[in-house]
Chains A and B, each alone.
Chain A
Amino acid sequence: MTLSLNVNGAAQTVAITDENTPLLWVIRDLLELKGTKFGCGKAACGACTLHIDGEAVRSCSYPVKLAAGKNITTIEGLGNEENPHPVQQAWIDEIVPQCGYCQPGFMMATAALLNKIPDPTDADIDRNIINVCRCGTYYRMRKAIHRAAAIQKETTPKTEE
């Protein structure tokens, strides 16, 4: 079957035989976007987190058929070197990654969190950022999440009251 997806703002068409194929594999193997990672394959680690219509979703447990017609954002679409997303900038500033494998998933989860709670408390972070980092970079990530919130606040144009 043929599916139309919108990935990082670009329309994509993929031909697939099994419509239940996890979106993760379509993103990585058909669309060659390798930033989204495979960790556990059972929605437990968060390495495969991306956004679907702005919500954080674990793509290893998301059949591609459900993504048809929806807006998908991967780490590649969050920002770029010239214009990094506040989360990407904060991650650079705080030198968060160790091996780096889990980091795209954490950054996508954090970006989704900041959309909902622009200035999250530590408790908000504990509840919402439940991905797994085998290198244990949680301490630096917490600092980076707070920093990302601060960068986002500085860069978001103030709305008139």
Chain B
Amino acid sequence: MRKKQTWYALLFASVIGLFAVANYGNDASEYITVTPTDFANEETPFDTMMRVLTHERCVNCHPNDHIPKQGDDSHPHYFGMARGTSNMGFEATRCTSCHQSENNAYSGVPGAPEWSLAPAQMYWEGLNRIEIAKSMLDPERNGGRTPEETMHHLTEHELVLWAWDPGVDASGIPREKPPVSKEDYIKAVKQWFADGHIIPSE
């Protein structure tokens, strides 16, 4: 009996191994497109959008304490860097002393056009997804944007879309991307706005 169980376990392991080998080297997207029929409990556009917006690639630059966060563990930015008066660091040591308009693979320093912190009133750190959505739609906190403008910002701004091209760290290890593909995220954001940008009550 025992022998038989072990044999089945071995067979199972080899089948899994074969699948792994078959997929190895496959250049296809690392994201799986989920179609609504895949789940009984369909993910709403709001859910999809918020899985991205609550990811550290977004929240790290929307701090609640004026201090940018770094890394997948969202630790405070090293060297005492902070917002300064213009969201760009201090007078002579600015974000752009180290961060340029694109990622730098040699130093592992990330970069994108207009690299800076989100303005203080746009803090998301510590907020839940409902609170983030309310903040995003509140002109007092979203830079005076209309919902239409917010939609464009979320789906077109290069610094926002940098989240899917976050480069490598100083050890050459790729930074984690948001858990949804860029295409699915953009689709979800547009759908949520088209549906009237309703914030669910949770």
B109 lies within 8 A of A128 (CB):
no
Question: Judging by beta carbons under 8 Å apart, are B92 and A115 in contact?
Answer: yes
Contact partners of A49 in chain B: CB under 8 A: 97
Smallest CB–CB gap between B58 and chain A, Å?
A: 22
Q: Known contacts being A57-B97, A62-B100, A130-B79, is A117 close to B91, with CB within 8 Å?
A: yes
Once the chains are docked, how many angstroms separate the CA of A128 from the CA of B82? 11
| B98 x A61 contact (CB < 8 A) | yes
**B194 on interface, CB distance cutoff 8 Å:** no
Assess whether A124 is in contact with B106, with CB atoms less than 8 Å apart.
Answer: no
Q: Which residue on A lies nearest to B106, using beta carbons?
A: A22
Q: Is A55 in contact with B96, judged by CB distance below 8 angstroms?
A: yes
| Neighbouring B residues of A79 by C-beta, 8 Å | none
Report whether A61 and B109 are in contact in the complex, using a CB–CB cutoff of 8 Å. Answer: yes
Whether A135 sits at the interface, judged by CB under 8 Å, is no
Q: Is A109 a contact partner of B93 (Cβ separation < 8 A)? A: yes
Rounded to whole Å, the gap between the CB of B37 and the closest CB of chain A is: 45
- Cα–Cα, bound, A57→B101 (Å): 13
- In the complex, the answer to whether A128 meets B106 with C-beta atoms within 8 Å is no
Chain A's closest residue to B94 (CB) is A55
Number of interface residues of B (CB under 8 A): 25
- Any B CB within 8 A of the CB of A37: no
B98 touching A58 by the CB < 8 A rule?
Answer: yes
CB-CB nearest in chain B for A60? B107
B92 contact set on A, CB distance < 8 A = 55-56, 109, 112-113, 115-117, 128
For residue B104, CB closer than 8 A to chain A, the reply is yes
8 Å CB contact of B96 from A57, A60, A63: A57
Which residues from A are CB-within-8-Å of B97? 43, 49, 55-58
B170 interface contact, C-beta 8 A: yes
A44 is contacted by which of B78, B82, B94, B101 (Cβ under 8 Å)?
B78
Chain B positions within 8 Å of A, measured between CB atoms, are: 78-82, 84, 90-94, 96-102, 104-109, 170
Binding site for B on A (CB under 8 A): 20-22, 41-44, 49, 55-58, 60-63, 66, 109, 112-113, 115-117, 124, 126-130
8 additional A-B pairs beyond A55-B96, A127-B80, A127-B84, beta carbons within 8 Å, are: A22-B104, A41-B106, A61-B104, A61-B107, A62-B104, A66-B101, A127-B93, A128-B91
Q: Can you name 16 A-B residue pairings with CB atoms under 8 Å?
A: A20-B105, A22-B106, A41-B107, A41-B170, A42-B109, A44-B78, A44-B79, A55-B92, A56-B97, A63-B106, A113-B93, A116-B91, A116-B92, A126-B80, A127-B90, A130-B80
